[in-house]
A and B are shown apart, each in its own frame.
Chain A
């Protein structure tokens, strides 16, 4: 034993940074190499869609930049301003995303117990977790930045060194918000318990996003497109020439990139970016050394968790009693889990804002004035159904699609009890569909009222949206069960899976199919009104009948498949 003590005293173990990151890298590699069924097809589809998205962004930006390039006086200024605006948006996204990611990587991750109890130097732990936070929170921005910078490089002939310039500016640009976000999280965790901090952060994130959307929309940027909005061209150029915010890293990246593309090339932005990144890492590390241990201890504490639901249970319990004890308890369980999870219900705020924006847009549609016929005024509300359908599909993807996946870890209980999988799907379906239906009727009813549609269009819209809501909910349950994500704890990540993508594609197909099938009878009715002719009853019956059949099939068939799949799922 003395020998061992001496050996430990001579050289303390201190695993290297790369060693700490090893499990992450090995996990990612194992996931990439796994021979899971259908992986190839999934990868091909995602790659195809990703490339399509890149091509779309690139194409759009490139056309805009070529247009700017040809505007001799203000073209380069506009291109620079546009780049600055995109980079400022990236920075806000990065900062918010880093704050949230840092909370889980520094304080809630499952490997922390092992790492904190191991003889790992605080600086290396900081480095490893900072890198992990950077990768997890920045990959999406990096993917968005690739077509953006490519478009600038190609449009302004950046040359073969341009990618090097971009990497040299973008890397510190990613590091700065990561360090800043991690530091903010560290401070917050030292003030609140980590689990409460997570609730607060998700609420802040949602409110910030909601506020931005609302602000942007209420400003009605479309008015700026009117020429009478500009008082003087010189005022405009002066405004474009001035830096938006000279102290922001986004401005430095913009200056470095535009300096390279349009001259004069200046090294100052590079110095600013790298020195700020380096200084922030040093300061972040110092803060980590001082506060991490205390914060990590606080992170183990949980928030106040007392809960009692007297009235809700009584009222909903009474309403559900005719459906049996089992179904009643399943529905009550779903409602409790939803409303007690801040990360779930807080997204309803964002949803409410998006709906307000949607109704706002409809209200300001220029549907009065010359040249607008009875025909157009009635066709717009009909096409409004497509938009309402998309809104409903997005909501279903977020709230109904993950339902079965979230039961993954409680499968032992559900499967060992006499609960039929039919009952489980029944509760998931109705708990999701009824609020969705209320929302659907509310949106379509309100927008149609604002648009002053005819009675016929109002009834067609309500009939269609009811059918579409059932179809969307049925498909959300169906695809969610056929492509479950049992290992994902975060419900918000589940809709971004391959199954979520398929669900959205199927929803678009059903919405499109329904509208196409109904287009003929609607057209024929409106023509009859305009030209005072008879409407064809058989055309009505066939069109609306086929649309109803499509929606009913889209409701029932996926649920049938889901039921069969659920009965065979094994969670060992």
Chain B
């Protein structure tokens, strides 16, 4: 469903994403991990059509995001890591607006919006301006907006940030149910336990390149970590020295 081929993004002499090739099939929840500055957000923003690749291609359901952006984006929902939403719209108006961007309106959108707001405990806040929402409430609203138009693919950057435990649990169930229905999610997160428990496959990037790719078992085998969890695999692949150095700094 998501097909990346030799995807590259350069900013002057700095290469943020370096020849990334990856396929996420329909019905998969894919975890996209990596240390800070690894190129995760840049990759996701290229998939969402916000940034143009320097070279390489992004296909959503077989449609090239650069060549036919409207058709590709119609299949997609995007949840960014630092969302800003129109402060002077109410929650329900924001959902209507997002649905409108996908040419959807009417009773179906109203019904879906109400369901999503109720799911995330935002129903009482539906007619309040977004400017009065807390960080977590905004995050819930953004997540709702990504589902309101029923996309086939959701690309999500750090979805758990700011969510309370109940909302985090709802989101996990929602993601799983959504994928079980044949849709696709590509998710970047630093919460390794979340990735380990939720994702069907995981890709680890560092320095803009894909370092490891596979199911948990495949990653354990490639990192030779026995039965260890994702944290050990992640540190092994991305440089566990950094963690040791951190301990030394704290002891100093």
Contacts and interface: CB of A to CB of B under 8 A. Distances in A.
Q: Is the interface of A mostly helix, strand, loop or mixed?
A: helix
B97 interface: yes
Interface in A295-354: 302, 305-309, 324-326, 328-330, 332-333, 336-337, 340-341
A42 interface: no
A329 B101 contact: yes
A361 interface: no
Interface size class of chain B, counting residues whose CB lies under 8 Å from the partner chain: 35 or more
Interface stretch (A235-243, A406-414, A520-528): A406-414
Interface in A189-218: 195
A160 B89 CA distance: 59
A572 interface: yes
Contacts, number: 100
Interface in A14-33: none
B50 A415 contact: yes
Nearest to B48: A416
Interface of B is mostly: mixed
Nearest to A421: B69
Contact of A324 (B71, B86, B103): B103
A220 interface: no
A420 interface: yes
B89 A337 contact: yes
Interface of A: 195, 302, 305-309, 324-326, 328-330, 332-333, 336-337, 340-341, 409-420, 568, 570-572
Contact of A410 (B69, B84, B102, B127): B84
Given A305-B129, A418-B73, A418-B102, A340 B96 contact: no
Contact of B84 (A332, A409, A416, A420): A409
B100 A325 contact: yes
Interface in B100-124: 100-105
Contacts of B127: 306-308
B215 interface: no
Contacts of A325: 100, 103-105
A418 B101 contact: yes
Contacts of A409: 84
Interface string B210-229: 00000000000000000000
Contact of B88 (A330, A332, A341, A415): A341
A417 B102 contact: yes
Interface stretch (B18-26, B74-82, B185-193, B239-247): B74-82
Interface in B112-144: 127-129, 131-132
Interface string B22-38: 00000000000000000
Contacts of A324: 103
B59 interface: no
B161 to A, nearest CB: 15
A292 B105 CA distance: 48
A418 B104 CA distance: 12
Q: Which of A305, A325, A341, A417 has the most CB of B within 10 A?
A: A417
19 contacts: A302-B132, A305-B131, A307-B128, A309-B93, A329-B100, A333-B93, A409-B84, A412-B83, A413-B98, A415-B50, A417-B98, A417-B102, A418-B69, A418-B70, A420-B70, A570-B52, A572-B42, A572-B45, A572-B51
B50 A416 contact: yes
Interface of B: 42, 45, 48-52, 69-71, 73-74, 76, 78, 80, 83-86, 88-90, 93, 96-105, 127-129, 131-132, 145, 155
Nearest to A417: B101
A195 B132 CA distance: 11
A572 B97 CA distance: 23
A328 B100 contact: yes
A333 B70 contact: no
Given A305-B131, A412-B50, A417-B98, A337 B86 contact: yes
Nearest to A338: B88
Instruction: From A328, A413, A571, name the one whose CB has the most chain B CB atoms within 10 angstroms.
Output: A413
A308 B126 CA distance: 10
B9 to A, nearest CB: 9
A519 B109 CA distance: 56
Would you list the 4 A-B pairs with minimal beta carbon distance, nearest first?
A329-B100, A305-B129, A416-B78, A409-B84
A340 B86 CA distance: 11
B76 A416 contact: yes
Of the candidates B50, B83, B145, B155, the one having the most CB atoms from chain A within 10 angstroms of its own CB is: B50
Contacts of A410: 84-86
B88 A340 contact: yes
Contact of B90 (A307, A412, A416, A568): A307
A333 B89 contact: yes
A333 B105 CA distance: 15
A226 to B, nearest CB: 51
Nearest to A570: B51
Contact of A419 (B90, B101, B132, B155): B101
B138 to A, nearest CB: 13
B132 A305 contact: yes
A305 B100 contact: no
Nearest to B105: A325
Given A308-B127, A568-B52, 4 more contacts: A333-B89, A413-B78, A416-B76, A417-B73
Contacts of B51: 570, 572
Q: Looking at A302, A305, A330, A340, which has the most chain B CB atoms within 10 Å of its CB? A: A305
Contacts of B84: 409-410, 412
Contacts of A414: 101
Contacts of A329: 96-97, 99-101, 105
Nearest to A412: B80
Contacts of B131: 195, 302, 305
A347 to B, nearest CB: 16
Contacts of A341: 88
A252 B183 CA distance: 75
Contacts of B85: 410, 413
